[in-house]
Structure formats: C-alpha cells, structure tokens
Amino acid sequence: MNFFEAVQDGRNIFLTGSGGVGKSWHIHELIRLNNEKVYPFKKSIALTATTGIAALNIGGMTIHKLSGLGVYHNKNDIHKIISSEKWEEYKSRINHADIVIIDEISMLRSDSFFLLNLIFQYAQGGIDLETFKQVPNPYPFGGKQMIFVGDFLQLPPVVQSWENIVGPYCFQTTIWKSMNLVNIYLKKVFRQSDEQMISALNEVREGQCSPETKKLFMTRVGAKSDIEMISLTSLNKEADEINNQKLAEIPEEMDTFVNVRSYHSFYSSHDKAKKKLISHYFGELEALGSISVKKGARLLITSNAEDESYVNGQLATYENSGYYIDVGIDKYECMKDFFWNYDDCSPEDLGEVNYEKISDYLYLIKDENTYIMARRYYEYNRRKNLEFTPRYVLVARLDNNERVFIERETTDFIDPDIEMEDSLPALSVRQFPIKLGWAISMHKSQGQTLKQAYIDPTSIFTEGQFYVALSRVQSIEGLFLKSFPTRKIIANQEALKFYKGLDQ
C-alpha cells in the first residue's frame, strides 16, 4: 500500500525516510490532490508541524497552537487545557479536521505526544450525564485520522538533563504502538544523485563512519570555493553573529522591508478582535517581520517562484528593489512612450527619472520620485479607469549569475474563532521569502536543500545534528568542512532499533 492509497483508506500513517527522499513532496501532493477534488470526498486537512519554522515551510501552524498543547508536557496538564477559556476554540479546530498532519514528528517529546493524545480524546469525547464532567473518547487521538511525518534519526526532541523522561521519542509510547500505523518508509534519495555520497550519508545517519566514508568527507576539509556560501552552525547565536557581522561590514545604506498586512474589514472597527488575532499568531508574525539588507548582502531564498526562476534553498546576492512594469500587457501599454520616448512625451515638470530597462517590455522603477512621475503619467494617459499597481520586487543575483525578481508572498491567517471552511482570511501578510544568507543554524536548515554550504561541526551537541547538516547539500563538491570529527557522528540507539524493526 502506498501513501496515497493509505490516506484514501482512512489509515493512520507514519511517513518517514532520510533527508531528501520526498516526504514534503508527498504532503504537498496530497494537499494538491485534495484541493483539486481528485479523491471522491474532499477532506478538511489540518497541516501542522512541531516547530514554527517547519510550520511556515509547509504553510501550516504548529500543532501546539492548533490543539492548545502550548508549553505543556505533563498528562496532568490536560485539566488546565480543557478548563481554559480557549478550550472551545481548540476543540472546534480539532473536530473540524478530517485529517491531521504533524510534520517533524521526531521533535515532539513522548510526554507531549501523550498529552496531545489526551487533548484529542477530550475534544472528541462527550459529557457524563450524571457528573456533567467531560469524558474522553477512548480511541487513540479520539479516532481522528493522523499522519505523522519525519525522521527519528535526524534531530531528536529537546529534553533537559534534569527531566526524568524514560524514552523521549513518540514511537516509544504505548499510544504510538496502539495506532495500527501504516509505515511508509521512503528510501530513494532525490536530493543527491552521487551514489557514493548517498551511501556515505546513510552511514552517518546510522551513526557509522567506514574508512571509505571518512576518506570521502576528509577531501572536503579545508576545501576552497570562489563563491561565498552559507554557513551551517550548531547554535543560533553563532549564525546570528555571523550574519550581523557580515551585514555590518558592508559600506552601503540599509534597506528595510516591512511586511504588508491586510485585515478583513471586520477588524478595522473591532480592536479587541484584532489584538486577539495578533496575539494568537504572534510567533508566525514575528517570523514574517521586518527584513533589513544592504546592497551586496547574501540572501537565502525560502520559497519557489511560480515561474520557477528561483527555488527554495537557493543563495543570491541582493542588488536593489523597485517597481516592476510590463508595458507589453494591455493595462500598461500606455506607458510605452514614458519609457521608450521619455524626452519627447513627458510634461516639462516631471523632471529626471530613474529606471532600468530589463528587456524590450520590462522596466524597473528604482526610486519613489520616478514612481510618482510614472503614476501621474499613467493616470493621465490610461484608457480605462484602472489603478497604477506595478509589482514591488526585490532584485537579486543568483550564484549562477542569473538575475531574479523576488515578489512578496502572501501568508493567510484564519481567525481561530471562525471555523467556516470557506471563510475569508482574517489577516493576510505579504513579505519577501528571504533570510540573510551568510549563516543559519543546523536546526533551522532541516528541510532545506542547498547547492553549497560551509559546515562548522565544532559545537555539535546532539544526535543526528551532523547528519542533518551534511545531508542538506546536493553534492560532495558543494560541501565545505571546517573539520570532520567522527566523534560527532552520533545516532540514537533506540531510533536505530526502531528503524530496523520497520525493515523486517
């Protein structure tokens, strides 16, 4: 049985495999098929992840927010959750979903998994008519169809040394074992094509390092590149230090791009509802906050262009920004003379303009004064009563020397108190899908595909971390290592036993 057949059959699923085997592709393909009504019955799918970064990458929300799990871990915390003022909100979201997907399941602690199960059971339970107390549904996750996605041999759950947790992984719980999961273990790697590298990465994933694997990776220690690449660091603070230092070294003016927020008309006159909405999505909105760059700054692109001119994980260098106009389309045809014969056609009071010709029909307006002039000219010469709304783009040059025009992407947020399937977004946020690209932490790199990367394994502190970093890179030629300490190649023994059981 393959993944899509198992979904149609209503089975609980564990979708797993090493880095680059297409786990995310399967999820996005499921969403596409569902939206296009390929299946007999369209399902309501709750798309969640265990971290905010992972949730943004897949276009969902954290499972903690959807369910009310929040910062709680202990099973006794269920009483705090079901008695909170937001319980009806959590309950409604859970019951509204036909299928719940949880990405990066490996990072959800076993105690949190147990508590999450209780939340789902209470959400789908009932009321004892004698005691008038809530009674949980006895089935795992209340009988909801669950799809868990991830690799337990990558990053583990975060458990402090003083916490008394026996068996930190979800698969070590009785609930996991009782769910009759269909295990879909993907093994064909698409991220890398070199069989020698794939074999070496599989060894590292399992905590092994043969002489051949060590020899292969040692060839990349101290290797040099003519291209400035992204650094993968063990700690967030190391990545922040590198990015801030590199940005400060550039002797150019700072360009800051704030996000563009559009609220549903209801929130314009209801401040309380608006504040509640902002509070609810605080973490996601922070991740979509202001972006500051300078000309020459390195960027990591975090999304795919509709025309495939750039893809998630590509590195680029920031050049400038401006308004992108295509005079070849009907709406802006009247602007041809503005760009083609400016000296002859413009009113005397318009003054000098600052724009760049990209092609015969494409132009980039590079400053606000020129934008104002172009708008005035358009409004005077337009044939129809259409507004002047050229696309605002960020201009960057990819490492293959191709120039790309990155547009803001829209992320929609639904009011959690409104559970209508076809309801309009309460808030839409538009922001450029970029990050400073000199360095990111290994944890934040999980899910990324990189052409080149410099890896500093000095401060690696947990199992699977070295594997996650190494497996982000598409080829051995794109890998650059500060060192290759084999003692940092560690796999969790319980996770290894778990996967050996899946192979039997």
Domain ranges of the chain: 3-186, 315-398
Kindly indicate the confidence band of residue 421, based on its pLDDT and cuts at 50, 70 and 90. very low
Q: Give the mean pLDDT of 179-183.
A: 96
Of residues 419 and 170, which shows the higher confidence score? 170
Q: What is the pLDDT of residue 420?
A: 42
Kindly indicate the confidence band of residue 447, based on its pLDDT and cuts at 50, 70 and 90. confident
At 100, list the tokens.
Answer: 């719940």
Q: Across-strand partners of 395? A: 320, 405
Residues of the chain with pLDDT > 70: what percent?
94
Please give the mean pLDDT across all residues of the chain: 88
Asked if 392 and 325 touch (Cβ cutoff 8 Å), the reply is no
Cα–Cα distance, 259 to 353 (Å, whole number)? 27
| Residue of 36, 57, 119 lying closest to 83 (CA atoms) | 119
> Computed over its alpha carbons, how large is the radius of gyration of the chain?
26
Q: What is the pLDDT of residue 397?
A: 93
Which runs of E-coded beta strand occur in 50-190? 61-62, 99-103, 126-127, 134-135, 145-149, 182-186
Q: Is the pLDDT of residue 418 over 70?
A: no
Which runs of E-coded beta strand occur in 134-273? 134-135, 145-149, 182-186, 230-233, 254-257, 260-263
Kindly indicate the confidence band of residue 159, based on its pLDDT and cuts at 50, 70 and 90. confident
Asked if 285 and 428 touch (Cβ cutoff 8 Å), the reply is no
Q: What is the pLDDT of residue 306?
A: 77
Tokens 């508590």 identify what position? 115
| Residue of 109, 103, 107, 108 lying closest to 16 (CA atoms) | 103
The conformation of residue 330, written as its DSSP 8-state character, comes to G
CATH 3.40.50.300 correct for 3-186: yes
> Is the pTM here over 0.85, yes or no?
no
Q: Is the pLDDT of residue 56 over 90?
A: no
Cβ count within 10 A of residue 466: 26
Q: Is the pLDDT of residue 442 over 70?
A: yes
* Segment of 102-116, 426-440, 449-463 carrying the highest mean pLDDT: 102-116
Q: Is 189 left (phi over 0), alpha (psi -120 to 50) or beta?
A: beta
Q: Is the pLDDT of residue 504 over 70?
A: no
pLDDT tens, 236-267? 889 989 999 999 999 999 999 999 888 888 88
Q: What is the pLDDT of residue 425?
A: 83
Kindly indicate the confidence band of residue 423, based on its pLDDT and cuts at 50, 70 and 90. low
CA dihedral 138, 142, 145, 149 (to 10 degrees): -100
Q: Is the pLDDT of residue 422 over 60?
A: no
Tokens 């076809």 identify what position? 422
Cα–Cα distance, 331 to 385 (Å, whole number)? 10
Of residues 307 and 490, which shows the higher confidence score? 490
Q: Is the pLDDT of residue 100 over 60?
A: yes
pLDDT tens, 1-17? 799 999 999 999 999 99
Tokens 């098929």 identify what position? 33
Cα–Cα distance, 489 to 317 (Å, whole number)? 33
Contacts of 287 (CB under 8 A, 6+ apart): 52, 53, 56
Q: What is the pLDDT of residue 324?
A: 92
Q: What is the pLDDT of residue 134?
A: 84
Q: What is the pLDDT of residue 342?
A: 58
